[in-house]
Amino acid sequence: MNQGTLALVGSGEYLPRMAPVDRLLLSRVPGEPRVVCLPTAAGAEGVETIGRWARMGVEYFTALGAQAEAVGVVDRATADDEDRVAHIRAANFVYLSGGKPDYLVDTLNGTRALAALHEVLERGGVVAGCSAGAMIWGEAIPRFRLGALFQPAFRRVPNAVIVPHFDEMPSLLVRLLHRLIGPRVLVGIEGNTALMVAEDGYSVVGAGGVTVWNSRGKVRYTDGQAVVL
Protein backbone atom coordinates (compact mmCIF):
# COMPACT_ATOMS: atom_id res chain seq x y z
CA MET A 1 0.00 0.00 0.00
CA ASN A 2 1.14 3.55 -0.68
CA GLN A 3 2.39 5.96 1.95
CA GLY A 4 0.90 8.74 -0.17
CA THR A 5 -2.31 8.79 -2.21
CA LEU A 6 -2.79 7.28 -5.64
CA ALA A 7 -5.98 8.66 -7.23
CA LEU A 8 -7.46 6.78 -10.19
CA VAL A 9 -9.97 8.92 -12.11
CA GLY A 10 -12.57 7.59 -14.54
CA SER A 11 -12.77 10.71 -16.72
CA GLY A 12 -13.06 14.50 -16.51
CA GLU A 13 -9.51 15.65 -15.85
CA TYR A 14 -8.95 19.41 -15.71
CA LEU A 15 -12.69 20.20 -15.99
CA PRO A 16 -14.59 22.29 -13.42
CA ARG A 17 -16.78 19.41 -12.28
CA MET A 18 -13.66 17.62 -10.98
CA ALA A 19 -12.66 20.55 -8.75
CA PRO A 20 -14.15 19.11 -5.51
CA VAL A 21 -12.16 15.91 -5.97
CA ASP A 22 -8.93 17.71 -6.80
CA ARG A 23 -9.30 20.17 -3.91
CA LEU A 24 -9.51 17.15 -1.60
CA LEU A 25 -6.41 15.63 -3.20
CA LEU A 26 -4.51 18.92 -2.91
CA SER A 27 -5.33 18.99 0.80
CA ARG A 28 -3.57 15.64 1.24
CA VAL A 29 -0.12 16.74 0.05
CA PRO A 30 2.65 17.53 2.52
CA GLY A 31 3.25 21.29 2.53
CA GLU A 32 2.28 23.71 -0.22
CA PRO A 33 1.04 21.93 -3.37
CA ARG A 34 3.59 21.72 -6.18
CA VAL A 35 1.79 20.15 -9.14
CA VAL A 36 3.39 18.63 -12.23
CA CYS A 37 1.10 17.78 -15.14
CA LEU A 38 2.32 14.99 -17.43
CA PRO A 39 0.70 14.74 -20.90
CA THR A 40 2.65 11.53 -21.51
CA ALA A 41 -0.30 9.35 -22.55
CA ALA A 42 -0.92 11.72 -25.49
CA GLY A 43 2.72 11.61 -26.56
CA ALA A 44 1.93 9.90 -29.88
CA GLU A 45 -0.89 12.31 -30.76
CA GLY A 46 1.14 15.27 -31.94
CA VAL A 47 2.44 18.56 -30.63
CA GLU A 48 -0.94 20.30 -30.65
CA THR A 49 -2.65 17.66 -28.50
CA ILE A 50 0.28 17.45 -26.11
CA GLY A 51 0.28 21.24 -25.76
CA ARG A 52 -3.47 21.36 -25.15
CA TRP A 53 -3.30 18.86 -22.28
CA ALA A 54 -0.32 20.68 -20.81
CA ARG A 55 -2.05 24.08 -20.92
CA MET A 56 -5.31 22.72 -19.53
CA GLY A 57 -3.57 21.14 -16.57
CA VAL A 58 -1.53 24.19 -15.63
CA GLU A 59 -4.48 26.58 -15.99
CA TYR A 60 -6.76 24.29 -13.99
CA PHE A 61 -4.47 23.73 -11.01
CA THR A 62 -3.36 27.36 -10.97
CA ALA A 63 -7.04 28.35 -10.69
CA LEU A 64 -7.28 25.98 -7.69
CA GLY A 65 -4.48 27.94 -6.01
CA ALA A 66 -1.61 25.53 -6.58
CA GLN A 67 1.80 26.11 -8.09
CA ALA A 68 1.63 24.13 -11.35
CA GLU A 69 3.77 23.32 -14.36
CA ALA A 70 3.67 20.85 -17.25
CA VAL A 71 6.70 18.67 -17.92
CA GLY A 72 7.25 17.35 -21.43
CA VAL A 73 7.69 13.65 -20.77
CA VAL A 74 6.27 12.33 -24.04
CA ASP A 75 8.53 9.44 -25.10
CA ARG A 76 11.16 7.14 -23.62
CA ALA A 77 14.00 9.59 -24.23
CA THR A 78 12.25 12.38 -22.31
CA ALA A 79 11.12 9.89 -19.62
CA ASP A 80 14.80 9.27 -18.90
CA ASP A 81 15.90 12.90 -19.23
CA GLU A 82 17.30 13.91 -15.85
CA ASP A 83 16.30 17.58 -16.15
CA ARG A 84 12.65 16.67 -16.73
CA VAL A 85 12.65 13.94 -14.10
CA ALA A 86 14.05 16.39 -11.54
CA HIS A 87 10.84 18.43 -11.88
CA ILE A 88 8.77 15.33 -11.10
CA ARG A 89 10.88 14.54 -8.04
CA ALA A 90 10.44 18.13 -6.79
CA ALA A 91 6.64 17.86 -6.98
CA ASN A 92 4.30 16.57 -4.30
CA PHE A 93 1.34 16.14 -6.70
CA VAL A 94 1.70 14.65 -10.19
CA TYR A 95 -1.19 14.32 -12.63
CA LEU A 96 -1.17 11.94 -15.61
CA SER A 97 -3.83 12.96 -18.12
CA GLY A 98 -5.50 10.66 -20.64
CA GLY A 99 -4.51 9.19 -23.97
CA LYS A 100 -3.34 5.72 -24.98
CA PRO A 101 -2.73 3.32 -22.07
CA ASP A 102 -0.41 0.95 -23.96
CA TYR A 103 1.70 3.89 -25.14
CA LEU A 104 1.85 5.21 -21.58
CA VAL A 105 3.03 1.87 -20.17
CA ASP A 106 5.60 1.40 -22.92
CA THR A 107 6.89 4.96 -22.48
CA LEU A 108 7.28 4.89 -18.69
CA ASN A 109 8.23 1.27 -18.01
CA GLY A 110 11.67 1.03 -16.43
CA THR A 111 12.42 4.76 -16.74
CA ARG A 112 13.60 7.42 -14.31
CA ALA A 113 10.22 9.13 -14.67
CA LEU A 114 8.38 6.06 -13.37
CA ALA A 115 10.82 5.76 -10.49
CA ALA A 116 10.18 9.42 -9.66
CA LEU A 117 6.41 8.83 -9.58
CA HIS A 118 6.92 6.04 -7.05
CA GLU A 119 9.16 8.37 -5.04
CA VAL A 120 6.42 11.01 -4.89
CA LEU A 121 4.06 8.43 -3.40
CA GLU A 122 6.64 7.11 -0.98
CA ARG A 123 7.23 10.66 0.33
CA GLY A 124 3.52 11.00 1.09
CA GLY A 125 2.53 12.92 -2.04
CA VAL A 126 -0.29 12.42 -4.52
CA VAL A 127 -0.13 10.80 -7.94
CA ALA A 128 -3.36 11.09 -9.91
CA GLY A 129 -4.12 9.50 -13.25
CA CYS A 130 -7.18 9.90 -15.44
CA SER A 131 -8.41 7.35 -17.99
CA ALA A 132 -5.18 5.89 -19.46
CA GLY A 133 -3.38 7.51 -16.53
CA ALA A 134 -5.52 5.41 -14.19
CA MET A 135 -5.39 2.13 -16.12
CA ILE A 136 -1.62 1.75 -15.87
CA TRP A 137 -1.67 1.26 -12.09
CA GLY A 138 -3.54 -2.05 -12.17
CA GLU A 139 -2.17 -5.54 -12.78
CA ALA A 140 -2.69 -5.36 -16.54
CA ILE A 141 -4.29 -3.30 -19.29
CA PRO A 142 -6.34 -4.51 -22.27
CA ARG A 143 -4.15 -4.31 -25.38
CA PHE A 144 -6.96 -3.46 -27.86
CA ARG A 145 -4.92 -5.09 -30.62
CA LEU A 146 -4.03 -8.51 -32.03
CA GLY A 147 -1.86 -10.83 -29.99
CA ALA A 148 -2.02 -11.17 -26.22
CA LEU A 149 -5.25 -9.78 -24.80
CA PHE A 150 -3.56 -8.05 -21.86
CA GLN A 151 -0.30 -6.23 -21.23
CA PRO A 152 1.36 -6.12 -17.79
CA ALA A 153 0.97 -2.80 -16.01
CA PHE A 154 2.55 -1.27 -12.89
CA ARG A 155 0.66 -3.25 -10.19
CA ARG A 156 0.10 -0.57 -7.57
CA VAL A 157 -3.42 -2.09 -7.40
CA PRO A 158 -2.59 -5.80 -7.51
CA ASN A 159 -4.76 -8.31 -9.40
CA ALA A 160 -6.97 -5.53 -10.80
CA VAL A 161 -7.86 -4.39 -14.29
CA ILE A 162 -8.79 -0.70 -14.09
CA VAL A 163 -11.64 0.29 -16.44
CA PRO A 164 -12.23 4.07 -16.73
CA HIS A 165 -15.27 5.72 -18.37
CA PHE A 166 -17.25 2.92 -16.76
CA ASP A 167 -20.57 4.76 -16.91
CA GLU A 168 -20.13 5.20 -20.67
CA MET A 169 -19.40 1.56 -21.51
CA PRO A 170 -22.07 -0.71 -23.04
CA SER A 171 -23.09 -3.49 -20.65
CA LEU A 172 -22.28 -6.14 -23.27
CA LEU A 173 -18.68 -4.89 -23.48
CA VAL A 174 -18.38 -4.87 -19.69
CA ARG A 175 -19.58 -8.48 -19.47
CA LEU A 176 -17.17 -9.55 -22.21
CA LEU A 177 -14.26 -7.81 -20.52
CA HIS A 178 -15.14 -9.43 -17.21
CA ARG A 179 -15.03 -12.85 -18.84
CA LEU A 180 -11.68 -12.14 -20.49
CA ILE A 181 -9.86 -10.93 -17.39
CA GLY A 182 -10.09 -14.38 -15.76
CA PRO A 183 -9.29 -14.41 -12.03
CA ARG A 184 -8.41 -10.71 -11.93
CA VAL A 185 -10.75 -8.11 -10.40
CA LEU A 186 -12.55 -5.67 -12.69
CA VAL A 187 -12.51 -2.16 -11.18
CA GLY A 188 -14.82 0.18 -13.12
CA ILE A 189 -14.44 3.90 -12.38
CA GLU A 190 -17.13 6.33 -13.52
CA GLY A 191 -16.62 9.86 -14.77
CA ASN A 192 -15.88 12.68 -12.29
CA THR A 193 -14.96 10.05 -9.75
CA ALA A 194 -11.72 8.79 -8.22
CA LEU A 195 -10.73 5.59 -6.52
CA MET A 196 -8.29 6.66 -3.84
CA VAL A 197 -5.55 4.18 -2.94
CA ALA A 198 -3.84 5.03 0.33
CA GLU A 199 -2.10 3.38 3.26
CA ASP A 200 -5.42 2.89 5.05
CA GLY A 201 -7.15 1.23 2.08
CA TYR A 202 -9.36 2.08 -0.88
CA SER A 203 -12.15 4.65 -0.99
CA VAL A 204 -14.32 6.62 -3.42
CA VAL A 205 -14.54 10.36 -3.89
CA GLY A 206 -16.59 12.18 -6.50
CA ALA A 207 -19.97 12.41 -8.18
CA GLY A 208 -20.19 8.87 -9.55
CA GLY A 209 -19.26 5.39 -8.40
CA VAL A 210 -16.67 2.65 -8.51
CA THR A 211 -17.79 -0.89 -9.37
CA VAL A 212 -15.80 -3.89 -8.17
CA TRP A 213 -16.57 -7.17 -9.92
CA ASN A 214 -14.71 -10.12 -8.45
CA SER A 215 -15.35 -13.76 -7.57
CA ARG A 216 -17.74 -12.69 -4.80
CA GLY A 217 -19.95 -10.71 -7.17
CA LYS A 218 -20.39 -7.11 -8.32
CA VAL A 219 -20.63 -4.16 -5.91
CA ARG A 220 -20.89 -0.44 -6.66
CA TYR A 221 -19.42 2.02 -4.15
CA THR A 222 -20.06 5.77 -4.00
CA ASP A 223 -18.58 8.90 -2.47
CA GLY A 224 -17.10 8.39 0.99
CA GLN A 225 -17.42 4.62 1.01
CA ALA A 226 -14.53 2.25 1.69
CA VAL A 227 -13.94 -0.15 -1.20
CA VAL A 228 -13.26 -3.86 -0.81
CA LEU A 229 -11.22 -5.42 -3.60
In tens, the pLDDT along 120-130 reads 999 999 999 99
Strands in 34-116 per DSSP E:
34-38, 67-70, 93-96
CA angle at residue 9 from 8 to 11, to 5 degrees? 155
Q: Does the pLDDT at position 1 exceed 60?
A: no
The H or E element containing residue 204 is strand 201-206
- List the domain boundaries for the chain: 5-227
CA angle at residue 74 from 71 to 76, to 5 degrees? 115
Mean pLDDT of 143-169: 89
Mean pLDDT of 67-95: 98
Give the dihedral sign, CA 85/76/35/21: negative
Q: How far apart are the C-alpha atoms of 125 and 3, rounded to whole Å?
A: 8
Q: How far apart are the C-alpha atoms of 204 and 212, rounded to whole Å?
A: 12
- Predicted TM-score (pTM) of the model is 0.96
Percent of all residues in the chain with a pLDDT value above 70, rounded to a whole number: 97
Sheet with 185-189, side-by-side order of all strands: 160-163, 185-189, 209-214, 217-222
Mean pLDDT of 113-134: 98
**145 falls in which pLDDT band (50, 70, 90)?**
low
Between residues 78 and 149, the one the model is more confident about: 78
CATH code for the domain defined by 5-227: 3.40.50.880
Rounded to the nearest 5°, which phi and psi values hold at 103?
-65, -40
Q: Does the pLDDT at position 144 exceed 70?
A: no
Q: Does the pLDDT at position 146 exceed 90?
A: no
Q: How far apart are the C-alpha atoms of 6 and 120, rounded to whole Å?
A: 10
